[in-house]
Amino acid sequence: MMKVKIHKGNFLELLNWLVENFEEVAKVVLKSAPKNCTLTTPKIQKDIINSCAKETTKLIMEDLGSDYFAILGDESSDVYDKEQLALCLRYFDKKGKVVERVLGVIHVENTASLTLKDAIQSLLMEHSLSLSMVRGQGYDRASNMKGHANGLKKLIMDECPSAYYVHCFAHQLQLTLVVVAKENLDCDWFFYQLKLLLNLIGNSCKKVKCYG
């Protein structure tokens, strides 16, 4: 009978991978670490992850400097059905290469354009950035994002006319792949079954009870 491997969580799985592949790491962590200093409890994991996030963001800010940048944003719900907005920066690095870096994921009360605009502005201000430095913005075709009257695009351009809107190329690619996949019977069947499975899991009573 095949033994099923239990997933220990992303942090511990990554740590185990490092132990298996790097001898210098294996000498100081997990079984080789002092009994009272394994640094693997959930609270310690969060502290380490937050520290890594801060150091990563610090490097991004140093790479960006005082240059102009574009913003890329998309909103979705997490497993707790809470709305969140992911924000990326697109800019030229010191070598003149276009790079995209995730600045953060923000929980928002709703997906109204004004709420999203305030969330973006707040996140930029946390890193000493402002909307006046934005020279481009990219979102999907949702009305709250690209609406000409009250969309997020319009609200940001009211403050910074140079923040030109460009439809998110990743979303364009997604739409293209959907059209192409529908012409392939196997792909069409697969994604239809996947949709049913996701709907079943998403509406599961146990899932709602766990996350409620």
Q: What's the pLDDT tens digit per position in 5-47?
A: 777 888 888 888 999 999 998 888 888 888 778 888 889 889 9
d(CA 69, CA 89): 6
* Model pLDDT, residue 149: 59
pLDDT of residue 75: 79
Q: Which residues of 6-29 are buried (b: 16+ CB within 10 A; e: fewer)?
A: eeeeeeeeebeeebeeeeeeeeeb
What is the band of 171 on the pLDDT scale with cuts at 50, 70, 90?
low
| Average pLDDT value for residue range 132-160 | 78
Chain centroid to CA 187: how far?
26
Residue 204 predicted with pLDDT over 60: no
What value does the mean pLDDT take over residues 148-172?
Answer: 78
pLDDT at 41: 86
Q: Is the pLDDT of residue 178 over 60?
A: yes
The pLDDT > 90 percentage for the chain reads 23
**Residue 205 confidence (pLDDT) above 60:** no
- Nearest Cα neighbor of 150 from 123, 124, 115, 121 is 115
Report the mean per-residue pLDDT for the chain.
82
The answer on pLDDT for 211 being more than 60 is: no
Of the pLDDT bands very low, low, confident and very high (cuts 50, 70, 90), residue 57 is very high
- Bridge partners, residue 134, by sequence: 69
| Calpha distance 53→45 (Å, rounded) | 12
pLDDT band at residue 70 under the 50/70/90 scheme: very high
- Radius of gyration in angstroms for the set of CA atoms belonging to the chain, rounded to a whole number: 22
Q: Extract long-range pairs of 154-157: CB within 8 Å, 24+ residues apart.
A: 154/113, 155/113, 155/114, 155/117, 156/117, 156/120, 156/131
Q: What is the pTM of this model?
A: 0.68
Q: Mean pLDDT over residues 162-182, rounded?
A: 74
Q: Is residue 12 a contact partner of residue 30, using CB atoms and an 8 Å limit? A: no
Q: Residue 211: CB partners within 8 Å, gap ≥ 6?
A: 79, 80, 81
pLDDT score of 209: 47
Residue type, 101: R
Among candidate residues 160, 155, 90, the one with its CA nearest the CA of residue 130:
160
Condensed to tens digits (0 to 9), the pLDDT of residues 155-164 reads: 888 888 988 8
Q: What percent of the chain is modeled with pLDDT above 70?
A: 83
Sequence letter at residue 41: T
Alpha-carbon distance of 65 to 169, in angstroms, equals 26
Over range 78-85, report the average pLDDT: 76
